[in-house]
C-alpha cells in the first residue's frame, strides 16, 4: 500500500501525495504513449510521456524535488579523495529521472542534466524516502540516453 492508502495506480483517485505522484511519473514513463489531454501543460499527471514537450521519442519525465524548506533538492558526486583547494565546489544536480520504486515510498533517482538541447544521464543515483520532501516539479519530457555520461 502506498503512503496515501492506494493499493494500485489509479489517476482518478490520487490524494496528491508525493509517493503517488512519483509512482504516476514512473508509470507514465513505463507506459510509453497513451491518448490523454490535460488542461495543465506542466502537470506531473500529463499523459502520454511526451505531453510536456515537442513531439519526439521520450523515455523520461524530468523532475525536481523541493525540500520541506522550499529549496531544490540537490546531489553531487561524492569526493573520496582529499582536495587541496578550499574553494572546490563539486558540481551538483537538481534534475532527476525516476529509476525505480522500492516499497511504498522509497525511490531510486538518477541525476540528469541538460547539455545544450540534449538531456544526459549521469552514473549518479540516489535512493530517497519521498515522504521527506514537500513538493515536486515536472520539468520536461525528454529522451535521455540512459548509458551514464560523466
Q: Where are the domains of the chain?
A: 11-78+90-145
Q: According to the model, what pLDDT value does residue 77 have?
A: 80
Alpha helices in 8-134 (DSSP H): 18-31
Position 136 scores a pLDDT of 93
What pLDDT score does 65 carry?
Answer: 96
Contact 46, 40 (CB under 8 A): yes
pLDDT at residue 104, as a whole number: 86
What pLDDT does 66 receive? 95
Say what the pLDDT of residue 19 is: 84
The predicted pLDDT at position 15 comes to 44
Under-50 pLDDT residues of the chain:
1-16, 33-38
Cell numbers standing for residue 75: 546531489
pLDDT on residue 40? 66
Give the predicted TM-score (pTM) of the model. 0.73
> b or e along 75-93 (b: 16 or more beta carbons within 10 Å of the residue's beta carbon)?
beeeeeeeeeeeeeeeeeb
Amino acid at each position: 500500500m502506498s503512503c496515501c492508502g492506494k493499493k494500485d495506480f489509479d489517476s482518478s483517485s490520487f490524494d496528491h501525495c508525493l509517493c503517488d505522484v512519483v509512482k504516476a511519473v514512473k508509470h507514465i514513463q513505463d507506459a510509453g504513449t497513451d491518448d490523454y489531454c490535460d488542461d495543465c501543460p506542466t502537470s506531473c499527471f500529463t499523459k502520454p510521456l511526451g505531453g510536456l514537450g515537442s513531439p519526439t521519442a521520450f523515455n523520461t519525465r524530468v523532475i525536481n524535488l523541493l525540500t520541506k524548506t522550499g529549496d531544490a533538492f540537490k546531489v553531487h558526486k561524492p569526493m573520496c579523495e582529499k582536495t587541496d583547494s578550499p574553494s572546490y565546489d563539486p558540481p551538483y544536480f537538481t534534475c532527476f529521472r525516476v529509476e525505480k520504486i522500492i516499497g511504498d515510498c522509497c525511490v531510486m533517482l538518477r541525476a540528469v542534466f541538460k547539455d545544450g538541447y540534449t538531456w544526459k544521464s549521469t552514473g549518479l543515483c540516489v535512493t530517497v524516502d519521498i515522504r521527506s520532501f514537500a513538493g515536486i516539479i515536472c520539468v520536461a519530457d525528454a529522451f535521455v540516453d540512459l548509458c551514464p555520461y560523466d
